[in-house]
Amino acid sequence: MSNLPEARALDAADPLRSWRGLFALPPGVVYLDGNSLGALPLGTASRLGEVMRREWGEGLIRSWNTADWISLPRRVGAMIAPLVGAAPHEVIACDSTSVNLFKLIAAALAMRPGRKVVLSEPGNFPTDLYMIAGLEAQGLAERRLAPRAELVAALDEDVALLLLTHVHYKTGAMHDMARLTRAAHDAGALVLWDLSHSAGAVPVDLTGCEADLAVGCGYKYLNGGPGAPAFAFVAERHHEALQQPLTGWMGHAAPFAFTDDYAPASGIDRLLTGTPPILALAALEEGVKLIAGIGMERLTTKSRALSEFLRAAIAETAPGLPCISPEDPTARGSQLSFRHPEAYAICQALIARGVIGDFRDPDILRLGLAPAYTRFEDCWNAAQALGEVLESGEWERPEYRQRAAVT
Ligand SMILES: *Cc1c(COP(=O)(O)O)cnc(C)c1O
């Protein structure tokens, strides 16, 4: 039986316990949605104040040089790199995950002339599938979807790119990155990994897996703030050949030469398009700094311990509720998902009690465990609240069934 004293003992022995104090978490709230929007680091407000007052307010345009604004996309990318097993010069922070997907899918298609198929799986995150569809509508790609078990068999000589999300956003199930990357390469295809639910949450070794391309999200486990810039990875061996379609001036070899003809920058900079959003990148840097400071090894250990504790606690408080995340903690992301036909209303009833998880259509209650700031006591409280919500039937109140614009 898990209990509150046990949870508190685990928190007291947690080597990450002091990091929680570096985040602005409202008292009385159990926050289990850091996989949708990471918590606010305390350093972010003062950093943004500084960037606004001193760098923008006083430095004005000079700050592109004096505050080195111009290299911020590369600096933040280099800080993200060790979290995903990449070299510093292989990652850049820019644009949104969706836009980076577009750039890298198109670039991969251009690197595999004669092949048009982009292979993915049904139920992948919508934006990933929509971005393939958009390129298909332009006549540049052909979308092919195969269920997990049939992906390898679907890799034939028409496939230019295998595009998968490493950790599934609904179930938390994790793909075997090394095995699938090898299979794609054996078929002559490239691989693009979406690391939105992986970066800062689970160990990723892009270099060890010989991955070609990757993208990931800045506002989830990296705590960059709502709509934070995303990141993109290109393995060094592809830097010279990579042609991305959004050939803006910031990806030019010499943006301030103002020439009429486009020539891509030599390294990862060629993924840039327009002027980088400095305020947003400064906020992202503060979030990444904390996660990089802890390091993936400690984050992984804590994440697995948290999710095992929460799984055991919910198995006691809500024994009838099926967990659809993989049972093996090394085979899932930093989350647990549960299935219930009234998952939306249950999620709302939990939020009313101060336990913030989220709902994923049609019937999934998702509890994210951001290891940097989530406590075992939070897991215990969430399990108690969930048990009480189910037992009391309080989720049946009509107001909990009213769907908001963002679910
Ligand atoms: C969150 C998420 C995104 C987000 O894309 P945006 O362009 O930032 O909206 C993309 N892919 C996956 C798998 C995600 O989980």
* pLDDT tens string 20-60: 999 999 999 999 999 999 999 999 999 999 999 999 999 99
**92, β-bridge pairs:** 232
Which residues line the annotated binding site? Answer: 97-98, 125-128, 165, 194, 197, 219, 249, 275
Binned at pLDDT 50, 70 and 90, residue 274 comes out as very high
- Domain CATH for 9: 3.90.1150.10
Domain presence at residue 41:
no
Which residue among 31, 169, 219, 338 is the active-site one? 219
Ramachandran category for residue 28: left, alpha or beta (phi over 0 → left; psi -120 to 50 → alpha): left
Same structural domain for residues 116 and 195?
A: yes
Tokens of 70: 């111009």
Binned at pLDDT 50, 70 and 90, residue 407 comes out as confident
Same structural domain for residues 13 and 60?
A: no
Say yes or no to pLDDT of 2 above 80.
no
Helix (H, G, I), strand (E, B) or coil at 181: helix
Say yes or no to pLDDT of 1 above 70.
no
Same structural domain for residues 283 and 300?
A: no
The pLDDT of residue 350: 98
pLDDT (tens digit, 9 = 90+) per residue, 40-51?
Answer: 999 999 999 999
Q: What is the residue whose two structure tokens read 């298909």?
A: 136
CB 20 within 8 A of CB 327: no
Say yes or no to pLDDT of 88 above 90.
yes
Burial, 66: exposed, middle or buried (Cβ in 10 Å; 0-12, 13-18, 19+)?
exposed
Of 363, 364, 371, 102, the C-alpha closest to 213 is 102
Tell me whether residue 366 is one of the annotated catalytic residues.
yes
Same structural domain for residues 146 and 271?
A: yes
Global pTM reads 0.98
Same structural domain for residues 282 and 339?
A: no
Domain presence at residue 214:
yes
Number of independent structural domains in the chain: 2
CB 204 within 8 A of CB 358: no
How many CA atoms are closer than 13 Å to the CA of 362, on its beta-carbon side?
1
Domain presence at residue 305:
yes
Q: pLDDT above 70 covers what percent of the chain?
A: 100
H or E element that contains 176: none
Residue 154: DSSP 8-state:
T
Last residue of a domain, one of 258, 293, 328: 293
**264 Cβ neighbours under 8 A, 6+ residues apart:** 242, 243, 244, 247, 251, 252, 253, 270
Which alpha helices (H) appear in 112-170, and where do they start and end? 126-137
Same structural domain for residues 274 and 307?
A: no
Which of the listed residues 99, 104, 125, 220 should we mutate to test ligand 1's pocket, taking the one with most ligand atoms within 8 A of CB?
125
Residue ranges lining ligand 1, Cβ < 6 Å: 96-98, 125, 127-128, 165, 169, 194, 196-197, 217, 230
Domain presence at residue 37:
no
Last residue of a domain, one of 242, 265, 293: 293
Domain presence at residue 39:
no
How far, in Å, CA of 238 to CA of 244, rounded?
A: 12
Domain presence at residue 182:
yes
**DSSP characters over 332-345:** B-SEEEEE-TTHHH
Phi then psi dihedrals of residue 55, to 5 deg: -70, -45
Given the CA of residue 99, which atom of ligand 1 is nearest to it? Answer: 7
How far, in Å, CA of 204 to CA of 207, rounded?
A: 9
Same structural domain for residues 266 and 378?
A: no
CB 170 within 8 A of CB 188: no
The pLDDT of residue 106: 98
Q: Tell me how crowded residue 146 is: count the other CB atoms within 10 A of its CB.
A: 16
- Domain CATH for 104: 3.40.640.10
Which of the listed residues 35, 94, 96, 97 should we mutate to test ligand 1's pocket, taking the one with most ligand atoms within 8 A of CB?
97
Same structural domain for residues 337 and 247?
A: no
**DSSP characters over 91-103:** EEEES-HHHHHHH
pLDDT (tens digit, 9 = 90+) per residue, 330-359?
Answer: 999 999 999 999 999 999 999 999 999 999
**DSSP characters over 2-20:** --HHHHHHHHHT-TTGGGG
Of 103, 108, 88, the C-alpha closest to 241 is 108
Of 175, 181, 178, the C-alpha closest to 161 is 181
Query: What value does the mean pLDDT of the chain take?
Result: 97
Domain presence at residue 359:
yes
Same structural domain for residues 8 and 95?
A: no
Same structural domain for residues 129 and 89?
A: yes
Domain of 194 in residue numbering reads as 47-293
Last residue of a domain, one of 241, 262, 293: 293
Domain presence at residue 406:
no
Which residue among 194, 269, 358, 378 is the active-site one? 194
Of 99, 93, 87, 62, the C-alpha closest to 75 is 93
Could you tell me the distance, in angstroms and rounded to a whole number, from the CA of residue 23 to the centre of ligand 1? 23
Same structural domain for residues 170 and 224?
A: yes
Please name the residue whose Cα sits nearest to atom 5 of ligand 1: 97
Phi then psi dihedrals of residue 77, to 5 deg: -60, -45
Same structural domain for residues 257 and 343?
A: no
pLDDT (tens digit, 9 = 90+) per residue, 91-121?
Answer: 999 999 999 999 999 999 999 999 999 999 9
